[in-house]
Amino acid sequence: MKASIKKILQTILPNFLFNFFKKYYGKILSLLKISRYTIQFSFKKRIDSRNIISINQPLILISQMQRSGGTLLSQLLDGVESVYAYPSELVVASPKWDWSRKKNYICYKQSYIRNYAERKIYIKESVAKNELSNKFLFDLIKQRQIFESIQKSSERDHFDAYFSSFFNSFLNFKNFGGKKRYVSAFTPRIIMHDKSVQNFYDIYPDGAIISIIREPISWLASASVHSEEYKNLNNALGFWLHSAEKSLMNARSNSRTHLVIFEELLRDTRTVMTHICKKLEIDFHENFLIPTFNSEHILSDSSFKAESGIDLNALDRKNNVDLSTIDKKLLRDCEVIYNCALESFKDGL
């Protein structure tokens, strides 16, 4: 809530009404916006779906704990001829990692995309100050028009309709050319939920999951600054351990789930991206080495300082964490899993 609005409401409303409005201001504003877009949509003519570019390629889903490199990898997959790279987190459920719940395919009902579209720019709201934004021209009404115009009988049809409607409504999208093999997107924590993983492979038996594991203490340094959820270091490491165990287990049990080590991705981007391309059976291109948004330069999504290109400073954040308060057994368990994952990843290169 803006300070000016807050001051006016505090003056004219009784305390109990002001506190209620303050608490639910975000939800009320979101509902009002959704209602406005729904009314606008109802007055628009139907779109002929035969005039749009159909996007029905299998999905590469990047998923692991937040602050593990998912945004970076999604940006490395941007700007190449073989991939439609979804430019934001893919949020089609609430919470976003629970794909067993009812899904929402209308972008103006998704706060991430709606906010970017209304501002006409894409910029990650990280702890680190990011002064670079990227142009994002997106027609929220057109997206629903296209989605509604496409016939759908299966959940895969709904996802194909969603991605077709999304990219055809992304008005300044630059990468329609070339022979596309995949759509790529990033959604955190799906790998931690068995039902969501199963739902993904039910929808996309021809798809793939890439799951990144980051060194636990460096991850903790980033995560604890990023969100209040990770301020309790032992609880946070418990989350990391669960995510890493699920990533390792899925990679070992499913040939279409691929493990990546964050530190190796930073140290030797070429080798790791070549390895990913080989797994996905797509040609390697030099553009896989440069993080971009819609083929344009972008800064890193850092908890410390946003940097251009591959941020090697993220390799070791251990000095930012006080280890004295961390449970020693938990720390050892995390180190064991990380070393197992690292060995498994290197064996696959």
Average of pLDDT values for 307-324?
A: 82
What confidence category does residue 315 fall into, taking pLDDT thresholds of 50, 70 and 90?
confident
Flag whether pLDDT at 347 surpasses 80: yes
Tokens 């070429």 sit at which residue? 270
Flag whether pLDDT at 16 surpasses 70: no
Lowest-pLDDT range of 34-48, 87-101, 298-312, 325-339 = 298-312
Q: Bridge-partner residues for 121, per DSSP?
A: 135
What confidence category does residue 6 fall into, taking pLDDT thresholds of 50, 70 and 90?
low
Flag whether pLDDT at 1 surpasses 60: no
Residue 208 · residue 225 · CB < 8 Å: no
Lowest-pLDDT range of 7-16, 135-144, 200-209 = 7-16
Q: Please name which of 292, 290, 29 lies closest in space to residue 135, comparing C-alpha atoms.
A: 292
Residue 202 · residue 99 · CB < 8 Å: no
Predicted local distance difference test score (pLDDT) of residue 218: 94
Predicted local distance difference test score (pLDDT) of residue 344: 96
Predicted local distance difference test score (pLDDT) of residue 349: 78
Predicted local distance difference test score (pLDDT) of residue 21: 57
Question: Whole-angstrom Cα distance, residue 64 to residue 62?
Answer: 7
Mind spelling out the 3-state secondary structure of 181-219? CEEEEECCCHHHCHHHHHHHHHHCCCCEEEEEECCHHHH
Residue 136 · residue 172 · CB < 8 Å: yes
Percent of the chain at pLDDT exceeding 90: 74
**Mean predicted lDDT score pLDDT of the chain:** 91
Question: Which residues does 82 contact at the CB level (< 8 Å), separation at least 6?
Answer: 178, 179, 180, 181, 182, 282, 283, 285
Quote the pTM value: 0.90
Average of pLDDT values for 252-262?
A: 97
Flag whether pLDDT at 202 surpasses 90: yes
Average of pLDDT values for 240-266?
A: 97
Flag whether pLDDT at 2 surpasses 70: no
**Token digits of residue 65:** 């704990």
pLDDT digits (tens, 9 = 90+) for 68-105: 999 999 999 998 999 999 999 999 999 999 999 999 99
Flag whether pLDDT at 18 surpasses 70: no
Residue 208 · residue 280 · CB < 8 Å: yes
Average of pLDDT values for 136-143?
A: 97
What is the Rg, in whole angstroms, of the alpha carbon atoms belonging to the chain? 21
Flag whether pLDDT at 242 surpasses 90: yes
